[in-house]
Structure 1
C-alpha cells in the first residue's frame, strides 16, 4: 500500500546506495500510480549507475532543494530501471502531474538532444 504522504508530495528525496553502502540523496519529481512510485531521469545519471549495482532505495517527501522536514517518514523500497513502453508511461504520468513545468523542461532538452531520449525510468516498489 502506498503511503498517503507520497501520493500528495511534489518532490521526493530519492536515496540510492554506493557500492560501499553510503546513501546519496537526490530530490526528484515523481508520480504515483497504484502501489508504485515512478521517476524519470537521465540514463547517464549517477543514481542510475548506483541502482544497477544495488536496487535498494529510500524515499521521503522533500522540498525543491531536497530538504526533508524534521520527523518526516522515510520509506524503504526496491528500485527497478525501465525503458521502452514503461518509460513512455512514466513520462505521461509526470507530464500529467507537473503539466507545463514538465513540458518546459522536457521539450527544450529534447531539442538540444536532437530528439534523442537518453532517459531511464525508475520504478520503486515498497
Structure 2
C-alpha cells in the first residue's frame, strides 16, 4: 500500500476481539509511518479494553472500490515527535494535549489480506 494512498484516507476501521470472542469494529483516525499504522483512542473504550487482553486486529480502509485489509498486532506506545507531527498535519490535532483520546496504539502489520 502506498504511503500516498494511506495518507489520503481519513479513517480506518479497526476490528478487535471482545472477551467472549465476538468482534468489535470501530472507525478511527490514523496515520501511517513506515510499515506501521497508528491510532489514538480513549483508554476506557471497548477497543482499548479489548486490546489489553488480545492484541490481534484487522484493519481496513473505508474505500470498498479499492480494498485494503490487513491483520496485525496492536500495542500501546508513547508518541514519538514524528507521530505527533503526522497527526497534527493530517487532522490539525495535537494528540499530546487531548485528555480523552490519550492512548496511542501502533499496529504492526503481520499479513496483507487485500
Q: TM-score scaled to structure 2, two decimals?
A: 0.76
Kindly indicate whether residue 37 of structure 2 is the aligned counterpart of residue 37 of structure 1: yes
Instruction: Look up the match of 1:73.
Output: 68
**Separation (CA, whole Å) in 2 of partners of 1:92 and 1:121:** 14
Number of positions where the alignment pairs a residue of Structure 1 with one of Structure 2 = 107
CA contact (8 A) 1:40 1:90 kept: no
Instruction: Look up the match of 2:107.
Output: 124
Structure 1 segment 85-104 matched on structure 2, within 5 A? 86=79, 89-99=82-92, 102=93
**More helix as a share of residues:** 1
Q: TM-score scaled to structure 1, two decimals?
A: 0.70
How well do the aligned residues superpose, as a CA RMSD in angstroms?
2.7
Structure 2 runs not aligned, ≥5 long: 110-114
Instruction: Look up the match of 1:49.
Output: 49
Once the two structures are superposed, residues 7-43 of structure 1 have per-residue CA deviations (whole angstroms, 9 ceiling, x without a partner) of: 4422100111112221111001000011110101111
**More strand as a share of residues:** 2
